[in-house]
Amino acid sequence: MATGFILKGQVLSFSGSPFDGERPEDAARLQEAVAVQDGRIAGAGTLAEMQALLPEAATVDHSGKLIMAGFVDAHVHYPQTAIIASWGKRLIDWLNSYTFPEEMRFADRAYADEIAARYLDLTAAHGTTTVCSYCTIHSESVDAFFAAAQARGQRVAAGKTCMDRNAPEGLRDTAQSAYDDSEALIGRWHGVDRLEYAITPRFSPTSTPEQLEAMGALWGKHPECLMQTHLSEQTDEIAWVRELFPQARDYLDTYEEFGLLGAKGLYGHAIHLEERERHRLRDYGAALIHCPTSNTFIGSGLFDMAGLMAEGQRIGLATDTGGGSSFSMLRTMAAAYEIGQLRGTPLHAAQLLWLATQGSATALRMDGKIGNIAAGMEADLAVLDLASTPAIAQRADRAEDVWEAVFPTIMMGDDRAISEVWIGGRRV
């Protein structure tokens, strides 16, 4: 790998957010080639410039294809891999009918290893190179996921899910054991190779105030870690939170009161936010994670992308496997577009691609490392075939610019559209 390699094609990078300014495409840049050496981007520019930069490097020709940063999935539940696309439930019933029985199985390290490997194989096949995952209450599930990612050289974040109430026997820990187990996992995995720990209270209804307080104390002790949870996904969930926390001003207050609101906080869904919540999330620079296929699949509601972006919120995009009905960030972008249409604010192709890469990387506070193509960044790349099926090809043939060419792949593409994936400069 010392000599590196060069990929030739349409190399997409971003100089800013396509949500800023009147023309989303102005934030994007297309170049002819990208050079990779020792697992990092050496540069991007003309083919001649890259060949001069790495004179001994082999060139891989992807003419007509789109070369971009690998997709970044900012909210997933890898333990739900085997129950994805299960029929007919809303959130609380989904957890009781499908999620909790499946998560019980992750006390078995061998089963956790099997599903972790399967999940990372499936997502890589769809061009996803980084994920932020919930595990189960079992430390074995975290060890399995991090070990599988480490073997692949992947940058991932994950954490032990903490629950001490409103969950079945065998899926509950305690405030103290959640703290102790999580801290031990931080010591074992955080900052090792490309791995980051995310402190993970599932959501307020499954944690007592004592456990939320313990998780807030742990985050205060380890502010270098991410913290991930769920917020305002469904209206009946919000009503449940109001019953469980009658003194709280709103759903977000059940986290804020216990030190679980911060700049490295990731709040999944965030559909039905009140005005105070929106202000507090923006003030802290916290990240809201949009999970469109999940929101439509289990009937949660329509995320206010345009309104939240206009407020200056930090927003990432995610599949929410397995409440989300696909492992594909292409399908997730398509669903985000459809939700935007239903709200009267359709998203431009540049905005969708940015959300699935740089936007999610920014949400995870990893934007200096992944999510874009620039010199010095880690070489996580995906190559998109913009004519992967006859239906897509015949539409792309009529395109007058790259955005019109890539949009059919966003709307109709699947793993067939992923020509190559590179993780840390290694071809998957």
Which pLDDT tens digit goes with each residue over 24-68? 999 999 999 999 999 999 999 999 999 999 999 999 999 999 999
What spatial distance separates the first Cα and last Cα of the chain, rounded to whole Å?
A: 15
Tell me what pLDDT residue 417 has: 98
In what helix (H) or strand (E) does residue 265 lie, and over which residues does it extend? strand 265-269
> What integer best gives the mean pLDDT of the chain?
96
DSSP letter at 262? Answer: S
Cα distances (angstroms) measured from residue 316 to each of 81, 164, 196: 21, 28, 17
- Mean pLDDT in residue range 218-235: 98
Say how far apart CA 361 and CA 129 lie, in whole Å: 11
- Mean pLDDT in residue range 200-209: 97
Tell me what pLDDT residue 2 has: 52
- Mean pLDDT in residue range 249-259: 98
Tell me what pLDDT residue 281 has: 98
Q: Say what percent of the chain tops pLDDT 70.
A: 99
Tell me what pLDDT residue 88 has: 67
Say how far apart CA 338 and CA 347 lie, in whole Å: 9
- Mean pLDDT in residue range 59-80: 97
Domains of the chain: 5-70+371-427 (2.30.40.10), 71-363 (3.20.20.140)
Lowest mean pLDDT among 74-78, 141-145, 198-202, 298-302: 298-302
Tell me what pLDDT residue 66 has: 98
pLDDT in tens, 289-317: 999 999 998 889 999 999 999 999 999 99
Tell me what pLDDT residue 241 has: 98
Tell me what pLDDT residue 86 has: 81
Here the tokens at position 200 are 């993970």
158 CB-side CA count, 13 A: 36
- Mean pLDDT in residue range 144-149: 98
409 CB-side CA count, 13 A: 29
pLDDT in tens, 386-423: 999 999 999 999 999 999 999 999 999 999 999 999 99
pLDDT band per the 50, 70, 90 thresholds, residue 1: very low
Is the pLDDT assigned to residue 80 strictly greater than 50?
yes
pLDDT in tens, 128-139: 999 999 999 999
Is the pLDDT assigned to residue 113 strictly greater than 90?
yes
Tell me which residue of 4, 13, 43, 147 sits closest to 375, measured CA to CA: 43
Lowest mean pLDDT among 26-40, 72-86, 148-162, 358-372: 72-86
The DSSP string of 214-237 is HHHHHHHH-TTSEEEEEES--HHH
Sign of torsion, CA 296 301 305 308?
Answer: negative
Is the pLDDT assigned to residue 91 strictly greater than 80?
no
